[in-house]
Structure 1
């Protein structure tokens, strides 16, 4: 099976801007597009192949026809025919709501869904841009609830300045928000379960306050201050650098100035490449595809060899 590119699913958001079109070259027809879902098996938002023999075919149909060839035997054993990863680019013109995601057991019990562990790679950040990640001290459940009543939640939160290349791992239960002026790549479990706990009292286009999930969040929050979110990873050129490894995905950082050949015959997983800078041509025995900043390619699990031809690129390589 040849390398697969998919049609981006563009999502308007209250906080979205113009960078997905202006910086990443997406075919954006309006302002306020906050997310580009690059690779999704989420019901109602399933990605469709954009190139080659399978053009026009949905990801779920491909998995039904070629489960082990596309996903890998070990992935099928763990996740069945569910595609376990959701890949996005996010442009925050305004602050996102302050939120968290439930862990697997709670998400299964309440929503019949996976939880949502995720990571962020900062592609671009305006001067002074920040993220909210975690609390700035240990907080009790009662203190947290009181801060919502008193409108003082912001005083309890940890703010992180960001610049290009910074990487953050957001485990379930951790309060977080992407700040205004941040463009990032996101890798996450296949889930769209979010508990919104504060939205700066903003109103939507119809003048309504957006729904908050105050009660649901109480049992899902991690109230401890933890400095476990900033990822320190090697950036050695022309090498495969370990970045994030968790039960749901493994991500490597590739900063390439020359071609790279990889023997992937024993990988037993699909491989995703997100181009966060530059451009490259990625190939297996069945074909090749070009990829540039803001684009994503899925390499099927039955790719025996993967070659990357480039003079200058930065790629996130994702496997399960």
Structure 2
């Protein structure tokens, strides 16, 4: 029997030497942490099958409540270094446990009965907070194509938190033969430059200069829709077969700041790349691209490639004196809502309704507690709480009666 409890998510901060930044550590208030010195963070895994969690009931014994009566969750995180492929916890004194262990031992209590029946002991959702200063041209296959290939589908949806720059879909009337030729010639050229860079016959600066000139000459961007998007824009390529990328743009100096929800499937089995922007790894090597499969599985229909069919905005679905809720997006695998908590002290009541809930504090700080309990946990901006399905009713309020915004993600009933 598993006791009812809430769990603080230990976020996994992913180093991205070529396209990360400092936005995520600033949001979480951990920029001065020694572990993060000199590191560019590209993503924070806010929920994944490999997440670690801290039972919030631990805080009740380890600390005293603050002036608002809440036990404030400590900032515990994990850093994953790309170059060494090592991970390190920021604080080993606070016990944490793998979420996977809870899923294996208590799948129904954690996920919910119908979700456990559907996904077994696997976490179906992957939630990331991302700062991306450019990434590859890529796509994911459609779910209906999984039976004909080794690739797995990966539905994903993005919610932009700052203005961004992207490519989305292929232009109408695209010359597919010319597009494929451009990608192939760049890939061949990058392999040759990589060999010279790794042998030392070209310096890193020389190799990058040659790569930039080659990419500019072939210009793959001429074949795809290049867009600037506003904060609050929702992009939904979850159907699969849709070309997409995040871009570098002088008008968006932060890069692309977004909240991603997707199926928890690794890039190695789900992401098909055609063009990696002429980038080198620190050792001079280049990432592999899958041009044959990219052009085999891309949806070439005009409707599928129209950006207006892939973009949306939040929709207000509930409003009362305690706050309001807007639906952000929904697929067969996940749904996310934005909850705006007012500055009233009255709690906002939620119910898990046979699915776990993931609560991310987008702005402000909150107090969260299980209904019927007199203990609440204080959660700061940029941090996440996992609410198991068995919890049932729980309540939220802005910390100390202040306004706050949270994103709630769960698995909709099939």
Using structure 2 for the length normalisation, give the TM-score: 0.69
In structure 2, distance between residues paired with 1:118 and 1:4: 24
What SS is found at the alignment partner of 2:324?
coil
Report the Cα offset of residue 140 of structure 1.
6.5
1:269 is aligned to 355
Q: Is the 8 A contact 1:133 1:158 kept in 2?
A: yes
Secondary structure in 2 matching 1:10: strand
Write out aligned runs for 1:43-192 (5 A): 46-52=50-56, 55-92=95-132, 94-107=133-146, 110-111=149-150, 113=152, 115-125=153-163, 129-137=164-172, 139=174, 141-149=176-184, 151-171=218-238, 172-180=240-248, 181-192=255-266
Measure, in 1, the Cα distance between the counterparts of 2:347 and 2:310.
30
Deviates further, 76-85 or 130-139? 130-139
1:296 CA drift (Å): 1.4
Which residue is 1:232 aligned to? 313
RMSD: 2.4
Query: Counting helix residues as a fraction of each chain, which structure ranks higher?
Result: 2
Q: Is the 8 A contact 1:140 1:223 kept in 2?
A: no
Structure 1 pair 23–52 and aligned structure 2 pair: CA distance change class (3 A): closer
Instruction: Judge which range, 203-212 or 67-76, deviates more.
Output: 203-212
> 2: distance between equivalents of 1:71 and 1:56?
19
TM-superposition CA deviations, 1:195-248 (whole Å, max 9, x none): 121111111101122211112222321223222221122357622222211101
Counterpart secondary structure, 1:91:
strand
> Secondary structure of 1:16's partner?
coil
Which structure is larger by alpha-carbon Rg, 1 or 2?
2
Q: Which sections of structure 2, spanning at least 5 residues, go unmatched?
A: 59-94, 186-217, 249-254
Of residues 379, 383, 387, the one that matches 1:295 is 383
How far is 1:184 from its partner?
1.4
Tell me, what secondary structure is at the counterpart of 2:7? Answer: coil
| Structure 2 CA distance for aligned equivalents of residues 313 and 159 of structure 1 | 34
Alpha-carbon distance in 2 for matches of 1:96, 1:170: 16
How far the C-alpha of 1:35 sits from its partner, in A, is 1.0
Unaligned runs of 5+ in 1: none
Map 1:204-219 → 2, pairs under 5 A: 204-219=281-296
Cα pair 1:261 1:308 within 8 Å, conserved: yes
1:98 CA drift (Å): 1.6
Structure 1 residue 189: Cα displacement: 0.7
Q: Is 1:33 equivalent to 2:41 in the alignment?
A: yes
Q: Point out the structure with the larger strand share.
A: 1
Once the two structures are overlaid, the 10-residue window that deviates more, 2-11 or 220-229, is 220-229
Compared CA separation, residues 35 and 194, structure 1 to 2 (3 A): same
Q: Quote the Cα distance in structure 2 between the aligned partners of 1:263 and 1:17.
A: 35
Dislocated runs of 4+, deviation >6 Å: none
Contact 2:6-2:57 within 8 A present in 1 as well: no
